[in-house]
Structure formats: structure tokens, C-alpha cells
């Protein structure tokens, strides 16, 4: 089928035939017919990178989202397939040498792990600071960084229908179980939430919770409609499934059960928010994606959207404006534009912060107020979510104007603060306080929290 453009939907009828979910990982790269368009050398490059960074793609993505007449530039191709430039020259060469010289899996793995360690697998204190404790015991599968919102990583939801090459949670997918945040017990989660009455939101995340069968998801969701959890108003589910496997809501065996489950949770009084990841409007315009969105919305959930700004994929204000407009047309609520995090293949995807702000500004001014609910560009950093509000000149000094959208101390939120303008900075750690100050206003307090391993101040 030819790829669809924006606004082409009316010409295409939706076909309800169930499809088989067929997935390919680095071991099956040779089985993907479409890759025969590449040279042998290009396929080897992909293999090299796929031995370090997680790779997984499914047939729907290959056949419906990628324009194979436009590779390697196609945005969705860049989103799921490994590219040589995702590793440093040196790391790439070393991995290539190992792969050319041996088929011993333990040697290959040890080189891969050596490189992975250098790629900042756990940015922003996720493991050291965000995991809450019960006495001396960490509560597995839970992160609690901001007062109102607890993150939960159900153990069966720690994979995705395909992997994004930019994913900041990539380290969870490389098979090291110690590194996974997962939780076997819905009970522990429920106890934790019951004890924390100032939590209003639970964010179920992964991986992708929507890879779970409906009956597994039901165990977690139904445990939340008990009276002792009345303070949990909102259940958010973070997912890329509307892009990578919209059939989940349309014609999987348990699609209808899933929609019924969501209705039931809403009927019990909860707000259910689907936090959908879309990096490009292309992901939203296939007939099955539109049908999935339509069916999901009919249950009463609200679909909010988020994406990082990614070089080679959506580093273009028009792509964002078209995407947000398409989201509004289909009844979705644009929520966050993120800055690509300082981990994994960041070298390939990062753009300067000043560029991120320009893309945001040029995109947002093209859309009506209904799409301007989107905040950003936002950096998820150790102390909190920091938004770049803009570039300004104050008393002759060029500065970035910043604010916390979320902070480990809620009192930090919404106080404008200033960093020296730096045209090359791509991440928060590159920024220095403006006006000759030595520290940002929150810094002493944050350092004290790190020392004491306090996740948040409430
Ligand atoms: C972004 C984020 C949240 C949710 O923040 P909202 O501003 O409520 O969307 C919660 N926990 C962590 C660790 C986050 O990064």
C-alpha cells in the first residue's frame, strides 16, 4: 500500500482483517526483505549498532510507516532502524572488529556492555534517587520523583511493539535484569499509594504497558478502584502502541476486552489518560491508527501526546505544526515537547537548546490555541523538568530564560531563572548561571537531597 499523506483518509476504507504481529530483532535483520534495498556494507553497519543499542521492529511499521523509496532519510526508518552514526567512530569500529573476528556470543556481549556503560544508561538519578524505600527495602517497579505522580513499571510491560532508537529507557531492553524497574506485585503498589494521600496520578509506564494482555492489565487497573485509593484521580498509561501496533485497539484477540476495561475504570470514577508517543504525523494517518484513536476515544479516555525533538526525525517546525494540527483534528491533546535526553544515541538525535526553542516557537505560532496546550521544550533532569522559555537579553547579557515545570521540591516550580546563553549547549548540564552567579537558586537544596538520597521534598 502506498504511504498516506495528511488529509488523505477519506479515500481509504478501513479493513478489519486481523493482522499477525510479526517482530524482528537484531538476529533477524537478514529476514527483513525491505533491507535488501541496502548494500551488504550498510546492513553490516546496522548489525554493529544493533548489537549495542536495542533493536526491534514489527511488520506493520515496516509495511505501513516507512517510505522505502526515501531511505535512509525517511523519518520512521531513522526512528526504528540503527544508524552507524548512533555510536562514536571509535566505539563503532571496535564493535565492528569484534563482530568480524568472532561469533563467540560472550566476547560480543562483553564488548557491547563496555560500550553501553559509556552511554549514560541511567540518566537523571532514576535508580539512585527516584526509587522509594520501605524501611531499608526499595519498592521495586516504582519511581516517585514529583509529589503528585507515581510511576509504575509493571513487569509484563517492559518491552514495546517496536523500539525507538532514541529511547532514554534503552538500558531496560538490553537483557540486564538488574537494571529493570519492574514489579511483580500490584499489591505493593496499592499499599504504597494508599499510604501517600498527596498522590493524585499514577503513571503506568515501561516499556509499553499496552504490550500486556488485557487480563494482565486488568489485575493492575482493577486494584486501583478500591476505596482506599480514592485519592488517585488519574491513571495515565504511557504508550507508543498507537504508532507501532494500533491493532491493539482494533482487532487483536482481546481488543474489545481492553476497551471495556478502560470503560470500567472510567465508570468507577477515574480519569484515564493515554499518554501517546508520536514523533511524526506519519504515525497517525494510517486507517488502522485512526480507527484505534476513534475506538479509544469512544471509551471516554483522553489521549494526550508527547515526543522529544529529534534530529533526523522531526527537527522541523512544519512537521510539529502538522502533527499537532492532526492531533487536534483527531481529538487528541498535545502535552509535551521534550529535549532528547543525555543518554544512548543522543549524539545522533540531539539539537542545540536554542534550536529546540526555535522549532517550538515556529511550530506553536502556526497552530490555534487548542494545540498550544503543549509545553516545552522540556528537559527531564535530576532536579526536575526544566522548560526553555526563550532567549532574551537582560541588562546587556544574552540569557536563556528557564522555569521548572516540575521539581523535586514543588516550591521550585514556576520561578523564572536564567542561564548564560550558549549556542552549542544541548543539555541542562551544559548551562551556567547568568549574571555572574555561582549557582542556580535550587542547587544547594538539590545537592543536599542527593547526599541524603531523598527523592522529593513534600
Ligand atoms: C514527567 C514526569 C512525571 C509527570 O509529570 P507531569 O508534569 O505531571 O506530567 C512524573 N514523574 C516523572 C519521573 C517524570 O519525569
User: 127 CB under 6 A from ligand 1?
Assistant: no
The confidence score (pLDDT) of residue 11 equals: 46
Q: How far is the centre of ligand 1, averaged over its atoms, from the C-alpha of 149 (Å)?
A: 7
Q: Report strand pairing: 201-204 vs 333-339.
A: unpaired
User: 406 CB under 6 A from ligand 1?
Assistant: yes
For the chain, list the domains and their CATH numbers: 19-119 (no CATH), 133-452 (3.20.20.70)
pLDDT at 311 over 70: yes
User: 385 CB under 6 A from ligand 1?
Assistant: yes
Per-residue pLDDT tens digits for 41-76: 999 999 999 999 999 999 999 999 999 999 899 999
Q: How confident is the model at residue 179 (pLDDT cuts 50, 70, 90)?
A: very low
Over residues 212-223, the mean pLDDT reads: 92
Choose one of 385, 387, 404, 456 to mutate for the ligand 1 pocket test, by most ligand atoms within 8 angstroms of C-beta. Answer: 385
Closest residue to atom 4 of ligand 1, CA basis: 149
Closest residue to atom 13 of ligand 1, CA basis: 145
Cβ–Cβ under 8 Å, residues 112 and 92 = no
Question: Which long-range CB contacts under 8 A does 213-218 form with residues at least 24 apart?
Answer: 213/156, 213/254, 214/254, 214/257, 214/258, 214/261, 215/254, 215/257, 216/154, 216/156, 217/154, 217/157, 217/258, 217/261, 218/261
Cβ partners under 8 Å of residue 399, min gap 6: 391, 392, 393, 418, 419, 420, 421, 434, 435
The confidence score (pLDDT) of residue 454 equals: 72
Choose one of 124, 126, 145, 339 to mutate for the ligand 1 pocket test, by most ligand atoms within 8 angstroms of C-beta. Answer: 145
Per-residue pLDDT tens digits for 92-124: 999 999 999 998 999 999 999 999 999 988 887
Amino acid at each position: 500500500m502506498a504511504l498516506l499523506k495528511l488529509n488523505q483518509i477519506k479515500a481509504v476504507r478501513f479493513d478489519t482483517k486481523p493482522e499477525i504481529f510479526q517482530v524482528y530483532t537484531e538476529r533477524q535483520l537478514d529476514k527483513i526483505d525491505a533491507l535488501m534495498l541496502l548494500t551488504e556494507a550498510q546492513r553490516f553497519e546496522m548489525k554493529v549498532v544493533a548489537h549495542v543499542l536495542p533493536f526491534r521492529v514489527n511488520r506493520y511499521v515496516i509495511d505501513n510507516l516507512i517510505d522505502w523509496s526515501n531511505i535512509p532519510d525517511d523519518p520512521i526508518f531513522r526512528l526504528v532502524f540503527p544508524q552507524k552514526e548512533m555510536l562514536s567512530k571509535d566505539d563503532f569500529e571496535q564493535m565492528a572488529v569484534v563482530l568480524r573476528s568472532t561469533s563467540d556470543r560472550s566476547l560480543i556481549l562483553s564488548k557491547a556492555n563496555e560500550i553501553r556503560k559509556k552511554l549514560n544508561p541511567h540518566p537523571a538519578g532514576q535508580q539512585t534517587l527516584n526509587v522509594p524505600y520501605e524501611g531499608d527495602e526499595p519498592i521495586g517497579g516504582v519511581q516517585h520523583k514529583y509529589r503528585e505522580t507515581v510511576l509504575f513499571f509493571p513487569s509484563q510491560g517492559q518491552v514495546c511493539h517496536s523500539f525507538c532508537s532514541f529511547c532514554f529507557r534503552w538500558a531496560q531492553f538490553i537483557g540486564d535484569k538488574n537494571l529493570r524497574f519492574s514489579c511483580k506485585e500490584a499489591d505493593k503498589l496499592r499499599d504504597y499509594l494508599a499510604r501517600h494521600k498527596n498522590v493524585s496520578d499514577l503513571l503506568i509506564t515501561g516499556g509499553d504497558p499496552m504490550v500486556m494482555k488485557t487480563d494482565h492489565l486488568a489485575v493492575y487497573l482493577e486494584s486501583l478502584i478500591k476505596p482506599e485509593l480514592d485519592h488517585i484521580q488519574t491513571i495515565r498509561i504511557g504508550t507508543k502502541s498507537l504508532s507501532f501496533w494500533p491493532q491493539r485497539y482494533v482487532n487483536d484477540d482481546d481488543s474489545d476486552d481492553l476497551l471495556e476495561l478502560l470503560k470500567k475504570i472510567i465508570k468507577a470514577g477515574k480519569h484515564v489518560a493515554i499518554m501517546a508517543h508520536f514523533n511524526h504525523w506519519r504515525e497517525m494517518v494510517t486507517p488502522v491508527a485512526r480507527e484505534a484513536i476513534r475506538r479509544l476515544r469512544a471509551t471516554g479516555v483522553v489521549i494526550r501526546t508527547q515526543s522529544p525533538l529529534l534530529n533526523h526525525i522531526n527537527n522541523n517546525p512544519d512537521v510539529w505544526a502538522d502533527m499537532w494540527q492532526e492531533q487536534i483534528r483527531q481529538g487528541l491533546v498535545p502535552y509535551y515537547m521534550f529535549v532528547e535526553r543525555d543518554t544512548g544515541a543522543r549524539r545522533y538525535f540531539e539539537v542545540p537548546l536554542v534550536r529546540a526553542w526555535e522549532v517550538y516557537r515556529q511550530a506553536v505560532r502556526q497552530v490555534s490555541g487548542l494545540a498550544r496546550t503543549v509545553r516545552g521544550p522540556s528537559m527531564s533532569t535530576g532536579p526536575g523538568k526544566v522548560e526553555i522559555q526563550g532567549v532574551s537579553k537582560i541588562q546587556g547579557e544574552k540569557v536563556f530564560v528557564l522555569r521548572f515545570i516540575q521539581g523535586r521540591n514543588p516550591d521550585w516550580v514556576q520561578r523564572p531563572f536564567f542561564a548564560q546563553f550558549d549556542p552549542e549547549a544541548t543539555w541542562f548540564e551544559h548551562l551556567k548561571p547568568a549574571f555572574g552567579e555561582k549557582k542556580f537558586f535550587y542547587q544547594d537544596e538539590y545537592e543536599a537531597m542527593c547526599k541524603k538520597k531523598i527523592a522529593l521534598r513534600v
